[in-house]
Amino acid sequence: MEPPGKSGRFKGGPKFGAAEEMLGLIEDIAYGRGLGKELARGSRDLALHYGVGELAMQVKGLELPAYDPRGLQGQGLSFATSNRGGCHLRAYLVGPEVLGIPKMVDRYSTLDKPGLTINAQNLNAGVDSLVLCRFVQFSLSDEYFARMLEAVTGMPFKAMDLHKLGERIWNLERLYNLEAGIGAEQDTLPRRLLEEPIAEGPAEGQVVRLDEMFPLYYRARGWDEGGRPEPEKLRQLGLISH
């Protein structure tokens, strides 16, 4: 039964900044009525339906969060390579690139970002296996999480073991995605972020330079040029035995 409210009330689309209209639109999305029914497809499918797929700010179907990666090269690489899509929780490069956590790095550089991104992705995947809030990582060291794993499992864990555990998880997720048809072609960002420079502000003129980072990222991951884990890497991680 449809709740009270006028179905299709926003046929022309709500205006930007109209908070009350947006609240009504959220309700329409929930109940699948009017424009809300179309928006419930998600931004990628909605944009593709109208032939403007490039307008959806998403990666692998998941919308990007608050950060414009054109001013954060590492975060841009993190978004593009995330197994989950446009998620900042898989590798929060905003930490070193903006907040200086654990230390400040040049947010416009690209040479160091594949290694930093891989390290963050592996660590976060390992910490996620402990089912903890991401904010805990701002205050505890890698070694502390390793000790938690040791306490829970009864197995010896050091910081590097935690990173290897995360790398194993990351590669398993990658293999799953590849089987589902999600590979190197989806390791990208919306064209606007790659081609349209920021018009003003501290990052004026910047775009995400993925082409400078991908070859190094794949190589450091132990993946081939198509983004598929090499057999040797899978053997190192104990994911295959031959």
Q: What is the pLDDT of residue 17?
A: 85
- Alpha carbon of 239 to those of 90, 119, 233: distances in Å? 21, 20, 9
Q: What whole-number distance in Å separates Cα of residue 132 and Cα of residue 56?
A: 31
In the chain, domain spans: 41-124+172-236
Q: What is the pLDDT of residue 4?
A: 42
Q: What is the pLDDT of residue 22?
A: 86
For helices 73-81 and 210-221, the axis angle rounded to 10 degrees is 60
Residue 157 is inside which H or E element, if any? none
Residue 156 CA from chain centroid, whole number = 31
Q: What is the pLDDT of residue 80?
A: 98
For tokens 């089912």, the residue is: 131
41-124+172-236 to CATH, choices 1.10.599.10, 1.10.420.10, 3.10.20.340, 3.30.70.20: 1.10.599.10
Q: What is the pLDDT of residue 12?
A: 60
DSSP annotation of 117: H
Q: What is the pLDDT of residue 21?
A: 84
Q: What is the pLDDT of residue 241?
A: 84
Nearest CA-CA partner of 10 in 1, 29, 42, 2 = 29
The dihedral of CA 41, 173, 99, 194: what is its sign?
A: negative
Q: What whole-number distance in Å separates Cα of residue 173 and Cα of residue 64?
A: 20
pLDDT tens for the 242 residues of the chain, in order:
444 444 444 456 678 888 888 888 899 999 999 889 999 999 999 999 999 999 999 999 999 999 999 999 999 999 999 999 999 999 999 999 999 998 999 999 999 999 999 999 999 999 999 999 999 998 899 999 999 999 999 999 999 999 999 999 999 999 999 999 999 999 999 999 999 999 999 999 999 999 999 999 999 999 999 999 999 999 999 999 87
Contact 163, 142 (CB under 8 A): yes
Nearest CA-CA partner of 141 in 156, 121, 127, 151 = 127
Q: What is the pLDDT of residue 19?
A: 85
CB atoms within 10 A of CB 228: 16
Q: What is the pLDDT of residue 1?
A: 41
Q: What is the pLDDT of residue 16?
A: 82
CB atoms within 10 A of CB 173: 16
Q: What is the pLDDT of residue 8?
A: 45
Q: What is the pLDDT of residue 199?
A: 96
